[in-house]
Chains A and B, each alone.
Chain A
Amino acid sequence: MELLLASAIGIMTAAGIYLVLRLRTFPVILGISLLTYAVNVFLFTSGRVAVGAPPVLRDDITVYTDPLPQALVLTAIVISFGMTAVVVMIGLGAFLGSDDDHVDDCPDVPQDPPEGTS
Chain B
Amino acid sequence: MTHWLIAPVILPAMLAPFIILAARYHIGIQRVFSITGVLTLIAIAGGLAWNTSDGTIMLYQLGDWAAPFGIVLVGDRLSTMMVLLTVVLALFVLIYAISSGWDGRGRHFHALFQFQLMGILGAFLTGDLFNLFVFFEVLLIASYGLMIHSGGTTRLRAGVQYVLFNLIGSTLFLFALGAIYAETGTLNMADLANRVQLITPDETVGIRVAAVLLILVFAIKAALVPLHFWLPSSYAEAPAPVAALFAIMTKVGAYAIIRVYTMIFPPDLAVTSGLHDVWLLPAALISLAIGMTGVLAAKRLDRLVAFSIIGSMGMVLVSIALFSPVGIAAALYYIVHSTLAGAALFLIADLVRSSRANLDLTPQPPVAGATLTAGLFFAGAIAMAGLPPLSGFLGKLLVLDAAYGTDLMVWIWVIVLVSSLISIVGFARAGSILFWKAKSVAAPEGAIPAPVPATMSYVAVGGLIALLAAHTIFAGQVHSYTTAVAAQLFDPEPYISTVVDTPGKLSKPSTEDH
Q: Is A6 an interface residue (CB 8 A)?
A: no
Is B157 in contact with A109, judged by CB distance below 8 angstroms? Answer: yes
Given contacts A32-B168, A83-B170, contact A25 B163 (CB under 8 A): no
Docked Cα-Cα span, A61 to B157, in Å, equals 54
Is A103 in contact with B181, judged by CB distance below 8 angstroms? Answer: no
B interface, by DSSP: helix, strand, loop or mixed? Answer: helix
Docked Cα-Cα span, A116 to B103, in Å, equals 11
* Complex interface bits, A75-88 against B, C-beta within 8 A gives 1, otherwise 0: 11001101110110
Q: Is B480 an interface residue (CB 8 A)?
A: no
Q: How many A-B residue pairs have CB under 8 A?
A: 122
Among A29, A80, A83, A84, which residue has the most Cβ atoms of chain B within 10 A? A83
Is A72 in contact with B130, judged by CB distance below 8 angstroms? Answer: yes
Chain A residues lying within 8 Å of B370, measured Cβ to Cβ, are none
Q: Is B156 an interface residue (CB 8 A)?
A: yes
Is A25 in contact with B160, judged by CB distance below 8 angstroms? Answer: yes
Given contacts A46-B182, A83-B141, contact A103 B164 (CB under 8 A): yes
Is B167 in contact with A46, judged by CB distance below 8 angstroms? Answer: no
| B357 to chain A: closest residue by CB | A114
Is B177 in contact with A109, judged by CB distance below 8 angstroms? Answer: no
| B101 to chain A: closest residue by CB | A116
Is A91 in contact with B160, judged by CB distance below 8 angstroms? Answer: yes
Cβ < 8 Å to A, chain B residues 102-133: 105, 130
- The residue that A75 contacts in the complex, of B134, B167, B514, with Cβ under 8 A, is B134
- The residue that A116 contacts in the complex, of B105, B151, B357, with Cβ under 8 A, is B105
Chain A residues lying within 8 Å of B179, measured Cβ to Cβ, are 46
Chain A residues lying within 8 Å of B152, measured Cβ to Cβ, are 97, 112, 115
Docked Cα-Cα span, A104 to B152, in Å, equals 17
Docked Cα-Cα span, A20 to B170, in Å, equals 14
- The residue that B156 contacts in the complex, of A29, A79, A93, with Cβ under 8 A, is A93
Docked Cα-Cα span, A31 to B414, in Å, equals 42
Given contacts A91-B160, A94-B156, A112-B152, contact A20 B168 (CB under 8 A): yes
Is B178 in contact with A43, judged by CB distance below 8 angstroms? Answer: yes
Shortest beta-carbon distance from A73 to chain B in Å: 9
Interchain residue pairs A-B with the least CB separation, the first 8: A97-B153, A94-B156, A46-B182, A46-B178, A39-B174, A112-B152, A43-B178, A46-B181
Task: Supply 16 A–B pairs (Cβ within 8 Å), ascending by A.
Answer: A20-B168, A32-B171, A39-B175, A45-B178, A75-B130, A79-B134, A80-B171, A82-B141, A83-B167, A87-B164, A105-B161, A109-B157, A111-B154, A114-B356, A116-B105, A117-B354
Q: Which residues of B line the A interface, CB within 8 A?
A: 100-101, 105, 130, 134, 137, 141, 144, 148, 150-157, 159-161, 163-164, 167-168, 170-171, 174-175, 177-179, 181-182, 233, 239, 353-354, 356-358, 450, 514
Given contacts A25-B164, A90-B156, list 6 more A-B pairs with CB under 8 A. A46-B179, A59-B514, A91-B160, A94-B160, A114-B353, A115-B150
